[in-house]
């Protein structure tokens, strides 16, 4: 018998994938941004899901941390 629910980490991965797929419907510049957000959410998902019960909240904070790191490295 398989899983009946997603683990928080799997849910964050699904959210990030949805963000990336959403970009396909947008202009090219926005596609790049949506893909980048998805990658950032995946990159920091492990840390984010330990701190938050809600996978969406973990994905959002993970993406924001990635963006802040990028901005600080400039």
Per-residue pLDDT reduced to its tens digit, 34-74: 898 888 888 877 766 677 778 888 888 888 888 898 888 88
Is the pTM higher than 0.85? no
CB-based contacts of 2: which residues, under 8 Å, 6+ apart? none
Per the structure, the complete domain to which residue 44 belongs is given by: 8-72
Confidence tier at 3 by pLDDT (50, 70, 90): low
Element (H, E) at 40: helix 28-43
Q: What gap in Å lies between CA 71 and CA 27, rounded to an integer?
A: 23
Q: Is residue 44 part of a domain?
A: yes
The rounded Cα 8 to chain-centroid distance in angstroms is: 12
Give a yes or no: residue 3 inside a domain: no
- The answer to the question of residue 1 being in a domain is no
In this prediction, residues 4-30 reach a mean pLDDT of: 83
Instruction: Answer yes or no: is 59 within a domain.
Output: yes
Mean predicted confidence (pLDDT) in 12-35: 88
């Amino acid at each position: 018998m398989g899983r009946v629910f997603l683990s928080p980490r799997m849910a964050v991965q699904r959210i990030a994938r949805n963000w990336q797929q959403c970009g396909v419907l947008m202009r090219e510049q926005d596609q790049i941004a949506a893909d980048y957000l998805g990658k950032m959410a995946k990159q920091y998902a492990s840390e984010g899901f330990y701190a938050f019960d809600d996978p969406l909240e973990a994905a959002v904070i993970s993406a924001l941390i990635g963006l802040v790191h990028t901005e600080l490295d400039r």
